[in-house]
Structure 1
Amino acid sequence: MVSKTSEFWQLIMSNIYRLLELDIDQVQYVDLDMAVKLGLLLFVVVVLKLIIEIFSRRRFSMVNVGEDAYRKFQHGFPRRFKYFIPKLFVIGTCLIFLVALAVPFLTQIKEEDVTVQSRIRIDLRDNSTSMAEFFTNSKETKAQIAAESHLEFVKMRRGQKDFVSLWVFASNPHMIQEFTLDDDELYYFQVYNAPWVSYSSCPILNIPDYRCQKVYGDGGGTDIAPALQALVKYLNQNERARKIKSGSILIITDADVYSFPEKELKELQFRNIKPYLIYIASNGTYDEDGQFVPYQVPEFAKRVSEYGGKYFDIMSVEGLKKAYEEINRLERAEVGIKRFSIRTDLFQVFLSPALVFLFLAIFLGLLIELFGLRSP
C-alpha cells in the first residue's frame, strides 16, 4: 500500500514538473471550444449565485432582533481571507480541469513520403555522473546547462530540415531518436524529454528524479569511444545516411573522457563526419595557497580540430551560433523520409496539479472547521 502511494505521488510530481517546464505555446487542443463554453457556463452560474446571495441577504431579518454578537466572533479581514483560501484552490482546480477537458496534446504529423535536401546530424549528449556537478560559477548543474544549451541549439536549427538522430552516452551509448527530419516540434520535444544523467541507481544528488535514467550494468562513466563506435556503425547500417557524403556530430559534454578516441575520430574523418564539441567546463580547484586554479580544457576538446572538427566553449556567447554556422557550411543531399502520425497527450500532465489543488482545498477547509477559524 505504501509502495503504491509512493508511486502515485511520484507520478503526480513528475507530471507537475513536466507542466512547469512545458512550452505552452507548443500545446494544441482537440476541443478548446467545448472547454471555453463550459468555462463560460461555470462563470455565469457563479455570478448568478453571488447575485442571488447579495439580494436575498437579510430578507426576513429585522433590526435589533436577537442577541448581540460578541466582538471577538465578528469577521475581520484576516479571518475572512483565511476562509476564502480554500475557495481559491477550488477555482484553480476548476480552471486546470477545464484545460484538461480541452484534451491538450503536442505535435501531430500526417503520414507521408517526402524527399528533401538535408544535412545529416547526430546529437550526442553526455549523461555521465560528472555532469551532476555544478557548472563553473553557477548554481546550476552541468547536466542542466547541457540540456538547456541543446534545446537552444535545436531551436536555432529549426526550419533547416536537418536529418538528425539523438543519442546520450555515459559508460554506454543509448539511442533515443533514430534518424528523423527536424522540421517541426517533434524532435524538439524528444530532446526536451531526454534524461540528464544515466546511472545504475537513481536518484542522484542535484538531479531531479525524473531526469535520471536508470540503466543496467555499468553506468555513470564518460566513455566516449564506445559511443562513437556505435554512431559509426549506425551510419554504415542506415541506408539513407549512407547516401550523404558529409555530416556532423554535435557532442555536448564536459569532455572528461576515459581515454582519447583516436581510432573512432579517424573513422569519422574518413567518412567526412565532422565532430563539433560544445564544451561544458568543470569547476576549477584551489591550490595549496588558496588560489583559484581554473579547470584546464581536456585533451579531447583541444584535439578534436585535428580530425576536422571544432570545439566551442559554452561560456562564450557566440559558441552555439558558431556551431550553427559550421553545420550550415556542410553539403546538402537528398533524403527520402516517411512521416507518421504521432501525438503526445497531456491530459495527465494537467490533471495532476488539479488533483493537488483539490486536495489542498479539502485539507484547508477541514483545518478551518477543526480549529475554529470560522465564527460559531
Structure 2
Amino acid sequence: MLDYETLKFIWWVLVGTLLIGFAITDGMDMGVGVLLPFLGKNDMDRRVIINTVGPHWDGNQVWLITAGGAIFAAWPAVYAASFSGFYMAMLLVLFALFFRPVGFDYRSKIEDPRWRNAWDWGLFVAGLVPALIFGVAFGNLLQGVPFHLDDMLRPHYQGTLLFALVPLLNPFALVAGLISLAMLALHGATWLQLRTERPLSERARAAALRLGPVITLLFALAGLWVAFGMDGYQIVSGPPHGALPDPLAKEVVLRHGAWLAIYHQIPKAMAVPALGLAMPLLTALLAAVRLPGLGFITSALGMTGIIGTAGLSMFPFIMPSSTDPNSSLTVWDATSSHLTLTVMFWAVVIFLPCVLTYTVWCYVRMWGKVTAQAIAANSHTAY
C-alpha cells in the first residue's frame, strides 16, 4: 500500500492532470464557441464550425465534472473553501454553460435566422465566460483568497455575497483570465483549421497567427508580475507531510519571490514555463505553414505548460489565504483520509485507461473534414 505522503502528492498530480485534460478537450469546444460568430460568415459556415465539436462536446465536458468530483473527494477542505470564496463566479460559469446543450441541440432545428443568430451568440457566451473566469480564478489563487479557518476548521470568507465578484476582477486576475481566453481560442482555431476546408480553414489559420504571439506576451507579462510585483507563500514550520491533515498546525509567511522557489530548487522545472512561452509561438508558426495537426499538439503542450506553471509555482499550496496565511490549504493538509485516497487511486488506475480508450475511439470513428456538402446531405442529423 502506498504511504500517505505519496498518495497526497499523487492526487495533486492527478487533479492537475484532470484540469489539463479538461482544458485540452473541453477548452477546444469553448475556443470554437468563442470564434463562432467571427469566423462563420454565414449560416452554413457556422453549422460547419458547430459540427466539428458537436459530437464530442458533452463527452469533453465530463472532464470538468470529473475534476470537480476529484477535488470534492480528494481535497474536501479546498472544495468547501472555494465554493465560499468563488460562489458567484461559479454560478456565473454554470449559467453560461446552460447555453451549450440547448445551443448545440436546438440551434439548427428552426430555420429562423434570428433564432439561429441568438444561439450562436449564446454559444459564444458559453465559451467566453468560463474561459475567462477559470483564468481569473487561477490569478486570484496566486494572490491569495480572503478566507480564514476557525477552530472547527470551518472556512469563513471575507466580503459579502452580492459583491463577491468585484474583488476577484483585479488587474492581475484579469491578465490571467485573458491568458486563459486566448489559450482556449488558439486551441479552437487550430482544431478548426484541422477539421474544415477553405475558406473557413484559412480564417481559422489567420486567427491562430494572431493569438499565438498574444498568449506568449501575456504569459511573459504575468511571469514578470509574479517575479517582481507579488509576494508568494512559504511554509516555515509544520507537521510531517504524512501526518493527519490539520491546516492550522503550520506556520506560513509571505515572502517576495516565494512563488519562484521551486525553479531555484529544481532548475529542470523551468522546462514547464518554457513550454508555456514557446508552444503558442510554435503553434502560430505551424498554422502559418499549414500543419494544423502538429499545431494542435503544440497548442496542447502550451496549455500544459501554462497550467503546469501555475501549479508548480504554488506547490504545495492549493488555496492560499490572504487574510490568515496559516489557514492556507496545501497538498499536505487539505486531503481526505489515507483510505479514501487509496480507494480513489485504484479506481483511477482501473477506469481512466477505459475512459481514454473510449474517447480516442470516438475521435477516430468520427474523424475527417466537416464540409458544407455533408451537412446539406444530412441536414436533419447534423447540428
Q: TM-score category by the smaller chain?
A: under 0.3
Q: Structure 1 or 2: larger helix share?
A: 2
| Structure index of larger Rg | 1
TM-score (norm 2): 0.27
Q: Structure 1 or 2: larger strand share?
A: 1
TM-score (norm 1): 0.27
